[in-house]
Amino acid sequence: MKNRISRKNIYNQATSRKTQFNSFFAVMLAPVLLAFLWVTITPVYWLLKEDHSFLDSTSKPDKVSHSPVNLDPQTSTESRQQYNDLSIEKVYWENKLLLCKDDSISLSIDLVDSLILLEIQGVILRTCKIERYELNWSLKYFREHPKFLSWLGTPFILQDDSASITKVPVKVIHAPKNPIDAAKLLQKILPKNDPFVEIDLEFNRNLRFHIQQGDTLDSPDHPEKGIYYSDILAGNKFETLRSSVKEYYPSRMYQINVVLSREDARAIYRALPNDARLALRM
């Protein structure tokens, strides 16, 4: 009798262990599976829904541009990738040629070679080495989208900008009464150190370009950075911050974050006119 019950007990225990084992995996895999589905299905949905709100009147018409993705599934991925890269490079140089005809200073961003060029009439004024950069989710996805070349097709136009430094460092001085006062004025004219340099350039077609100085990025000697961030929270930058928090995936704002040297960041910001144009390669 005792043996029979023990066997039954063992059987029950074994069954319960099996159930536990299954439940363990079910509980563990549920969030993994959900995450995986979200990550894989959402981009496909985004691709299929054909939302082309990122294209505007300045975009290049579809039939003129090459498709960035070769849509023949039989072609090897490598060849397709090469074709995409070459198409993007071609559009970049076409845009640069367009900018050559412009009399104002323009910007060329070459993320492939990690360079930012300030140009005017085809002459390179300044070459800035990108220390590091990152694309936001939307742009990473969008790079694979068939409409990507149409988006890149013509130079981007600067719509708005904001920065932690002034574009024109104006100092107002009242005329001195005598030569002694005038001598003291010279000290006022000499420039003071700029604060931590951080710039936001917003172009048309939902492109945002964020530049940050890199060489003193982690330095505690820059309390100005903290002040700047509190400015963002308190002031007119609140809207930008709110939209970046709201920027859920896949968002329509295509953002490139770039880290440059302090001098480069400052020179770019001060050199760019209000309606600066941009050629992009990535």
Partner 1 sequence: MPSIYPRIIENSANDDNMNRHDPGEMANIMFHKQTQSRSTKGIYFSAFFTGITLAYFIFANAPSIGAYVIRVSAPYLTKSAEEPSSSKTNDLLTRKIQNLKNRHQKYTPKIPYLIINTSDNHIYLKKGPRVIHEGPCSSGSYVVLKADGNREWIFSTPRGAFKIQMKLKEPVWYMPDWAFIEEGREVPPANSPQRYNSKALGKYALSIGSGYLIHGTLYTRLIGQPVTHGCIRLANEELNLVYRHLRYGAKVYIY
What mask, x for binding partner 1 by CB under 8 A, covers residues 18 to 37?
Answer: --x--xxx-xxxxxx-xxx-
**Residue 37: helix, strand or coil by DSSP?**
helix
The answer to the question of residue 151 lying near partner 1 (CB under 8 A) is no
Taking the C-alpha atoms of residue 189 and residue 19, their distance in angstroms, rounded to an integer, is: 80
Q: Which of 15, 58, 79, 243 binds partner 1 (CB under 8 A)?
A: 79
| Closer by beta carbon to partner 1, 121 or else 230 | 121
Q: Which of 140, 230, 241, 252 binds partner 1 (CB under 8 A)?
A: 140
Least Å distance, CB 233 to partner 1, is 26
Chain positions 95 to 124 lying near partner 1, rule: CB under 8 A, are 96-97, 100, 103-105, 118, 120-124
Q: Which of 143, 162, 217, 247 binds partner 1 (CB under 8 A)?
A: 143
Of 187, 154, 142, 186, nearest in space to 277 by CA:
154
Interface stretch with partner 1, choices 197-205, 221-229, 231-239, 263-271 (CB under 8 A): 263-271
Least Å distance, CB 173 to partner 1, is 5
The answer to the question of residue 70 lying near partner 1 (CB under 8 A) is yes
User: Degrees (nearest 5) of the Cα angle 154, 206, 48?
Assistant: 90
Q: Which of 14, 112, 182, 227 binds partner 1 (CB under 8 A)?
A: 182
Q: Which of 113, 168, 233, 236 binds partner 1 (CB under 8 A)?
A: 168
Taking the C-alpha atoms of residue 109 and residue 130, their distance in angstroms, rounded to an integer, is: 9
| Closer by beta carbon to partner 1, 140 or else 223 | 140
Chain positions 2 to 21 lying near partner 1, rule: CB under 8 A, are 5, 9, 16, 20
| Closer by beta carbon to partner 1, 94 or else 224 | 94
Tell me whether strands 198-203 and 156-163 are parallel, antiparallel or unpaired. antiparallel
Angle between helices 223-234 and 238-246 (to 10 degrees): 80
User: Degrees (nearest 5) of the Cα angle 148, 149, 154?
Assistant: 120
What lies within 8 Å, CB to CB, of 1 at 6+ separation is none
What mask, x for binding partner 1 by CB under 8 A, covers residues 233 to 252?
Answer: ----------------xx--
How many other CB atoms sit within 10 Å of the CB of residue 58? 13
For tokens 């100005």, the residue is: 224
The answer to the question of residue 223 lying near partner 1 (CB under 8 A) is no
What lies within 8 Å, CB to CB, of 149 at 6+ separation is 60, 65, 66, 67, 68, 87, 88, 91
| Closer by beta carbon to partner 1, 77 or else 236 | 77
Edge-first strand order for the sheet with 156-163 is: 123-129, 115-120, 106-110, 277-281, 156-163, 198-203, 207-213, 254-260, 132-135
Q: Which of 169, 223, 226, 235 binds partner 1 (CB under 8 A)?
A: 169
| Closer by beta carbon to partner 1, 189 or else 234 | 189
What lies within 8 Å, CB to CB, of 234 at 6+ separation is none
| Closer by beta carbon to partner 1, 173 or else 233 | 173
The answer to the question of residue 51 lying near partner 1 (CB under 8 A) is no
The answer to the question of residue 80 lying near partner 1 (CB under 8 A) is yes
